[in-house]
């Protein structure tokens, strides 16, 4: 049984035919805090990966960011990191862990990353015809 206490009608403050996509933050370096990290399998390749969720605080937006009011709680950006046990993936995992100040070892718990911060180098990425943020590099603060 579904909860239909909201009913079937959705009401918006503006007509959807006038809705525009939010602007991406652009090519900037900005601090971000990890709010989630989940290991799983890539939907496209079927390989092990970690989906790392970074939150960029509104006070770290560029001063001229025109859509800041739409993101009062900050913006969320995903970073996908290989979890495969091969030379390249192990090296990239090491560099990522060093960047966020996480413990290194043969076994890591990605939940330990939550609350850690890093400097994110952002670039624009197009998804379904809309520009959005893409993390190009993660480095130490």
| Counted domains in the chain | 1
In-domain check, residue 54: yes
The answer to whether position 16 is within a domain reads no
Domain contains 50: yes
Domain of residue 47: give its range: 27-139
Q: Which pair of structure tokens corresponds to residue 56?
A: 């960029």
Tell me if the pTM is above 0.75.
Answer: yes
d(CA 125, CA 135): 9
CATH number for the domain harbouring residue 126: 2.40.50
Question: Would residue 67 count as lying in a domain?
Answer: yes
Q: Is residue 119 part of a domain?
A: yes
- Specify the 3-state DSSP secondary structure of 25: coil
- Interval 75-109: pLDDT, tens: 999 999 999 999 999 999 999 999 999 999 999 99
Residue 31 is assigned to a structural domain of this protein: yes
Q: Is the pLDDT of residue 6 over 80?
A: no
How big, in percent rounded to 5, are the helix, strand and coil portions of the chain?
20, 35, 45
pLDDT value at 1 more than 70: no
| Amino acid 3: pLDDT | 53
| Under 8 Å between Cβ of 141 and 118 | yes
Does residue 10 form part of some domain?
A: no
Summarize the confidence of residues 51-60 as an average pLDDT.
98
Residue 11 placed within a domain: no
């Amino acid at each position: 049984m579904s909860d239909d206490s909201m009913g079937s009608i959705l009401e918006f403050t503006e007509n959807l035919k006038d809705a525009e996509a939010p602007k991406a933050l652009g090519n900037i370096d900005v601090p971000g805090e990890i709010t989630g990290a989940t290991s799983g399998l890539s939907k496209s390749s079927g390989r092990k990966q970690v989906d790392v969720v970074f939150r960029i605080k509104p006070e770290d937006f560029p001063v001229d960011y025109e859509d800041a009011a739409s993101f009062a709680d900050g913006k969320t950006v995903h970073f996908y990191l290989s979890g495969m046990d091969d030379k390249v993936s192990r090296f990239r995992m090491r560099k990522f862990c060093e960047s966020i100040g996480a413990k290194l070892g043969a076994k890591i718990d990605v939940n330990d990353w939550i609350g850690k911060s890093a400097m994110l180098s952002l670039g624009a990425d197009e998804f379904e015809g809309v520009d959005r943020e893409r993390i190009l590099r993660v480095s130490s603060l």
